Amino acid sequence: MSKMSIARLGKELYTGEKSFDFVGRRMVWYAASAVVLVAVILGVSIQGINLGIDFTGGTRYTVTVAQADQKLADDLRTAVGETAVEAADGATVRTAGGSSIVIETKAIPNGSEADSDLLGAITETADVARDDVSRTGIGPSWGERVASKAGLALGIFLVGVVLFIWIYFREWKMSVAAVVALLHDVVITVGVYAIVGFEVTPATVTGFLTILGYSLYDTVVVFDKVKENTRNLAGKKQTYASAANLAINQTLVRSINTSIIGLLPVVAILYVSTVQLGTSALKDISLVLFVGMAVGTYSSIFIATPLLVHLKSREKDVLDAEKRAAARMKEADKYAAVPVFDEGMAASDEEPDELREAGSDDLHEAGVSRGTSSNSSAMGRGRNTPAQQREVSDSGAAGRPQPKRQSRSKRK
């Protein structure tokens, strides 16, 4: 699609010339989200979440080498996996800077046989001395503190969101709709992490908090337009649902463009960290950003605003606006059967049945005059030109010649 086409589409969506019915089809969006939520919940319950050693506890080996590259990291991953150490199954191996490689496993007792076997495989593969490998034990208490702090930060964030939207928009139902959209994004993102099997690390938690802010930002922009369109609803010829749907269409192009621009660098980071670097903290945070930003855009368009309209559908002013709109539609249908005469139509001396049945007041309001006769030279729409009785002649009352009635083209 060319730049001019996008600009034209944006203008037509903003003015209402074109419109996508997001609000009217909200049950379709609810059903789609419900299916996705059920799928991700089943994925979490069956496969579980792959928590990193920062949350579960484990052992971290840091190998200092002359040049840390991905090939050496892959060789170490293979060597560690081939040992008989059960705790080393599924070990995480990643580069850290240009001269270090980090190997993370489940908890291995210091000085045990498993510890010695693993150190032997590492030193042999990396061709380094035993002193070049440092060992660090990570207890589960550290992960518990990280999880508790993340939960506290999430709780403070949600409370702040509710209060901010309530104060700014003076509408608690907007707060409810925004929080539901946020929870929708979090659950889907967690489910994707569980299904894909990526490890949850502190970087993942940082990504979660980031996507909450992004999703909220897009939702607030749409809600601000909803507030603008529904201000003084009693004096407008729109229902609350149509005004809210117009707000989504007016911000649609902006939301899509912002999301694409935001997702492009995240996709690049995800590709590099997954394909070229293998396991790394960049992979953890880039996946959560990608999924969260995409789902956040979806929820701000298809969930938050339609849910807001649903919550407000029983309010008195909203119901009054719908009654006024229904009355206007009924009044418009009153004259739907009145024919409109056009140039070139044959004039008839007989009144159509529709005109005979309609009252004189109704016809006058519709712009149709009830004539007794018409001629074939009738001009204008919806009128019958009376036949000319006689030619206009001079009148002596004015004391001067009077002009004759002629067409403009024949006047001199």
The enclosing domain of 126 has a CATH number of 3.30.70.3400
Using the predicted structure, report yes or no on whether residue 188 has a pLDDT greater than 80: yes
Q: Could you give the CA distance from residue 266 to residue 289 in angstroms, rounded to a whole number?
A: 7
The answer on 71 and 33 residing in a single domain is: no
The answer on 291 and 150 residing in a single domain is: yes
The answer on 215 and 92 residing in a single domain is: no
Q: Could you give the CA distance from residue 18 to residue 13 in angstroms, rounded to a whole number?
A: 5
Using the predicted structure, report yes or no on whether residue 236 has a pLDDT greater than 50: yes
Rg (the chain; Cα; Å): 37
Using the predicted structure, report yes or no on whether residue 374 has a pLDDT greater than 50: no
The answer on 66 and 46 residing in a single domain is: no
The answer on 244 and 218 residing in a single domain is: yes
The answer on 305 and 285 residing in a single domain is: yes
Other CB atoms within a 10 A radius of the CB of residue 51 amount to 16
Residue 330 lies in a domain: no
Q: Higher confidence at residue 386 or residue 65?
A: 65
Which of 84, 115, 138 finishes a domain?
138
377 close to 408: Cβ distance less than 8 angstroms: no
Residue 360 lies in a domain: yes
Residue 404 lies in a domain: no
- Of 96-105, 146-155, 298-307, 325-334, the range with the highest mean pLDDT is 298-307
Task: Tell me the mean pLDDT in the region 184-206.
Answer: 81
Task: Tell me the mean pLDDT in the region 93-98.
Answer: 75
The answer on 306 and 165 residing in a single domain is: yes
Residue 290 lies in a domain: yes
| Residue 136 parent element (H or E) | strand 133-138
pLDDT of residue 31: 93
pLDDT per residue as tens digits for the range 112-169 = 888 888 888 888 888 888 888 888 877 767 667 777 777 787 788 778 878 888 888 8
Q: Within 13 Å, how many C-alpha atoms sit on residue 159's CB side?
A: 6
Residue 210 lies in a domain: yes
Residue 175 belongs to what domain range?
3-51+142-320
Q: What is the dihedral of CA 172, 257, 190, 281, to 10 degrees?
A: -130
The answer on 259 and 227 residing in a single domain is: yes
Lowest mean pLDDT among 166-175, 195-204, 244-253, 389-398: 389-398
DSSP state of 244: H
Q: Which amino acid is at 13?
A: L
The answer on 109 and 191 residing in a single domain is: no
- Angle, in degrees to the nearest 10, between helices 240-271 and 3-15: 150
List, in sequence order, every residue forming a beta bridge with 105; answer none if it has no partner: 59
Please count the structural domains in the chain. Answer: 3
Q: What's the CA angle centered on 85, arms 79 and 89, to 5 degrees?
A: 70
Using the predicted structure, report yes or no on whether residue 365 has a pLDDT greater than 50: no
Which of 267, 294, 320 finishes a domain?
320
The answer on 313 and 175 residing in a single domain is: yes
Q: Closest by alpha carbon to 62, among 122, 108, 110?
A: 122
pLDDT of residue 377: 45
Place of tokens 């009635």: 405
Residue 407 lies in a domain: no
Residue 400 lies in a domain: no
Q: Closest by alpha carbon to 53, among 119, 126, 137?
A: 137
The answer on 147 and 231 residing in a single domain is: yes
> Reading across the β-sheet that carries 58-64, which strands appear in turn?
92-95, 100-105, 58-64, 133-138
Which of 106, 138, 170 finishes a domain?
138
100 close to 64: Cβ distance less than 8 angstroms: yes
The answer on 295 and 207 residing in a single domain is: yes
Lowest mean pLDDT among 138-147, 200-209, 223-232, 326-335: 326-335
| Residue 86 parent element (H or E) | none
Residue 398 lies in a domain: no
